[in-house]
Amino acid sequence: MNDNVCPNCGYREPEAQAADASEAAATEPAAAEPSAAEADSGITEPVSSEAAAAETTEPAAPGTAAQQTAAPNAGRPAQPYAAPYAGQTPPYAPPAQPYTPPAGQPYAYGQSGQGYAPYGAPAAAADDKKSVGLNVLSFFFPVIGLIIYLATKKDKPVRAKSMGKCALAGFIVGIVLSIVMFIISFTIGMRALEEYANPGLVLQDDANAAFTPDTNSQNTSVLDWQNMTVVIDDVEISLPCTYSEFTQKTGYVLEDSENLAVQLAEYEYTFLMSAENAAGQEMDIRCFNSGSATVSVQESLVVGVAVDAGWGDPVADVAFPQNVKVGDVYDLNAFREKFGEPESTYTGDSGYATVSWDDDNDVYNGFEIVTSDGQTVEEISLDVYPAE
């Protein structure tokens, strides 16, 4: 502001306006005063209100160019500065409360209440809620649940999060069940291997099974282990015997080529192997190498025979000691009368039962009778090794 005058609007501050007014009064000629005669006579010329108003509103004569340059507002009536809107009734004042839009008009961005969501925030899906079916699917098939979770976690976060939790829970439960099943399978496998490797071992599987080992120090069996014979399809044969003698007399040969190729080291024996005759009847035999050189099963001794009717195949007609056969009535008391007090007995709730006799002089010699229903003899086995 130059010389207290705004160059844009021409406003001049009150102090400057008062100075201009004083300057203008000094430059105007003094009004003619009434003469003494006129004053004494008391005659004065009346002045009308219109003339007085015109006289007050008529601008003063402009002064010189220098005066106009120094005081551009000279000749204008001096008016005090008034703030904008000062003449309004009531005077202008800013609103005491924040602006509230009319009813029905949405709020501006950033204000609380109903209105437009902030820019960039995704609109929530109308059907974004938990799904029982997808949760169950994710629990039982965690991989599928993970795939759907990754595909929908942006559009439907609520549903995706629920499915992710179910998939994780299903994965953890699956691992726990796998560990439990492995432990159970391992335990069963070890027990089966132990029983298979030790045919004379009797396991008490049933809760109420009865196992009564013989506590006598002396062998009470009446079996003659040194002269043990069996009758196979009306052919009597003594055990042990050579494999060639056995096949020639009975007609039963090993039906599996892999068994025929087995090599036995010194004092090595086989598990029971299936042998079959020309009529298709089956029985099991066990071979043993009593020499120091390695031999094949065809050069070994047959030390055990067994008949098992539980598979449903036609079996050989074998009469064991005291003419006991598969299909006879299982009578434990009758077996005690025939063979003496057994080495061990086992009876289960389901009807499965076994009774066996051992040779006190040779632990490998044994005779066993088995039933699966508690009524009928289903399996008989006899092992007789050569005397040392």
Write down the domain spans for the chain.
210-383
**Which helix or strand (DSSP H or E) is residue 4 part of?**
none
What is the pTM assigned to this prediction?
Answer: 0.46
Tell me which DSSP letter residue 321 carries. Answer: G
**Sign (positive or negative) of CA dihedral 302, 307, 312, 313:** positive
Taken as a whole, the chain contains a residue count of 388
Q: What is the pLDDT of residue 336?
A: 93
**C-beta of residue 317 within 8 angstroms of C-beta of residue 323:** no
Cβ neighbours for 173, distance < 8 A, ≥ 6 positions apart? 139
Q: How far apart are CA 339 and CA 221, in angstroms?
A: 5
CB-CB contact of 263 with 295 (8 Å): yes
- Residues 142, 144, 145, 147: is their CA dihedral positive or negative? positive
49/184 Cα distance (integer angstroms): 127
- Using the structure block, give the residue that is written with the tokens 């929908």: 152
Closest listed residue to residue 297, CA positions, set 247, 346, 350, 261: 261
Kindly compute the dihedral angle of the four CA atoms of residues 125, 126, 128, 131, in this order, to the nearest 10 degrees: -150
For residues 204 and 199, give the distance between their C-alpha atoms in angstroms, rounded to a whole number: 14
Residue among 252, 250, 211, 254 at smallest CA distance from 230? 250
Which of these, 289, 345, 369, 279, lies nearest to 317 by C-alpha position?
Answer: 279
Measured CA to CA, the distance from residue 63 to residue 69 in angstroms comes to 10
Beta bridge partners of 376: 329
Residue 4 confidence (pLDDT)? 59
SS3 196: helix
- Residue 255 is predicted with a pLDDT of 84
Q: CA angle 374-375-380, nearest 5°?
A: 80
Residues of the chain with pLDDT under 70: 1-126, 194-221
Q: Which residues pair with 15 in a beta bridge?
A: none
Closest CA to 144 of 171, 183, 172, 182: 171
Give the tokens for residue 275.
């042998």
164 close to 145: Cβ distance less than 8 angstroms: yes
Q: Is residue 323 within 8 Å of 339, Cβ to Cβ?
A: no
**pLDDT given at position 209:** 42
Q: Following CA atoms 361, 246, 234, 275 in sequence, which dihedral angle do they give, to the nearest 10 degrees?
A: 100
Cβ–Cβ under 8 Å, residues 215 and 342:
no
- Classify residue 307 by burial, with Cβ atoms within 10 Å: 0-12, 13-18, 19+: buried
The residue among 307, 247, 312, 318 whose CA lies nearest residue 277 is 247
Single-letter residue type at 205: D
Max CA distance (Å), the chain: 193
pLDDT of residue 129: 87
Helix-then-strand count for the chain, H and E: 10, 15
pLDDT at 39: 45
Do residues 296 and 261 touch, judged by C-beta distance below 8 A? yes
